[in-house]
Amino acid sequence: MRMIPNKPRWRRALLAAFLLGAVPALASCSSSSSTTDGATGPKLSVVAAESPWGAVAQAIGGNDAQVTSVIANPNVDPHEYTPTAQDAAEVAQAAVVIDNGLGYDSFMNGLLSTGSAHARSVVTAASVLGLHGDETNPHLWYWLARVPQVAQAIEHAFATADPAHRVAYAANLERFEQSLSSLDRALGRLKAARGGTAVAQTERVAGYLLAQAGLVVASPSAFSLAIEAGQEPDAEATTQMSDLLVHHQVKALIENTETVSPVTNDVVAQAKRSQIPVVGVSELVEPRGSSFVAWQAHQIALLSAALGLPDSAAPGGTSGS
């Protein structure tokens, strides 16, 4: 769990410049992020900016890819992340790099600008989905209906970079897409039973998922956007949020458990006093090492239970990322 940060940006920029300047030396003396397996040979070296896309990449890469997620620790804020020299070296050596775009992981721009000594493919989720604009919700891995499009782009990049294992990548993609169907069914049941139900959210983290479930976000966008930006919501937005909870105008509060502040703590406390269920969601895969499907299935089950609808979405196991 992380508190909303308030760090001087010039220090982050100075540190990033210093670390990125050290990349050539580190890349030449550090071991490659591609590991070898006695049974399968060299593995495709893959770097994902954050663990949700890393988990998708691992599901597709299987035993033939070594996937590293730059940000997998829930205590790290992607918006404020300063890349390390190790991050830069790993990106420089990767055959495939996956980022989110929409400014969510802008630290990747500096890492990718350092270049690479070999051919490298970059998959940007927002570009794959044709999304742009500052107002677009960047938490794209919660748009489960469109995750397959990003997965297909990742599989294509893997097959191009490592054609010897293209059949395995295609089979893994098919299995992953089939596993996503359990999530779609769970959201379909939730929409059929509780569509139109009003909920509140501290941030837009699960906004796409809530929309796919047919739920209506009644909390003021000014509140969520302020929290997301690391700012304190204005008095009007805070009062509106409080009134929703006090007067039981929503059936659940969706809380980003990875970013907390005195304001969000107060909102959660108010919801509990009003006996409104609080559903925790996360920006990164939790627990670390879980598969993408297992992580999302658990969160959908929590949401369904909070709204009085038992959920039977099957977890998808675990895989490192």
The answer to whether 6-180 and 195-283 have equal CATH topology is yes
Q: Does the pLDDT value for residue 212 go beyond 70?
A: yes
Please give the structure tokens belonging to residue 219: 């909390």
Residues 251-309: tens digit of each pLDDT: 999 999 998 899 999 999 999 999 999 999 999 999 999 999 999 999 999 999 999 99
Write down the CATH number for the domain with range 6-180.
Answer: 3.40.50.1980
Q: If you average pLDDT over residues 7-13, what whole number do you get?
A: 35
CA–CA separation, 35 vs 157, rounded Å?
19
Q: Does the pLDDT value for residue 20 go beyond 70?
A: no
Question: What global pTM score does this model have?
Answer: 0.86
**Whether the Cβ atoms of residue 199 and residue 271 lie closer than 8 Å to each other:** no
Residues 95-117: tens digit of each pLDDT: 999 999 999 999 999 999 877 76
CA–CA separation, 294 vs 316, rounded Å?
4
CA–CA separation, 308 vs 214, rounded Å?
15
**Whether the Cβ atoms of residue 80 and residue 12 lie closer than 8 Å to each other:** yes
Q: If you average pLDDT over residues 187-193, what whole number do you get?
A: 97
The architecture (CATH level 2) of 195-283 comes to 3-Layer(aba) Sandwich (3.40)
CA–CA separation, 253 vs 272, rounded Å?
9
pLDDT of the residue at 97: 98
- Cα 160 to Cα 33, 56, 185, 215, 288: the distances in Å are 19, 17, 32, 40, 29
Residues 298-318: tens digit of each pLDDT: 999 999 999 999 755 444 444
| Band (3; pLDDT cuts 50, 70, 90) | low
Given the structure tokens 């397996």, which residue do they identify?
37
Give me the residue spans of the domains in the chain. 6-180, 195-283
pLDDT of the residue at 31: 30
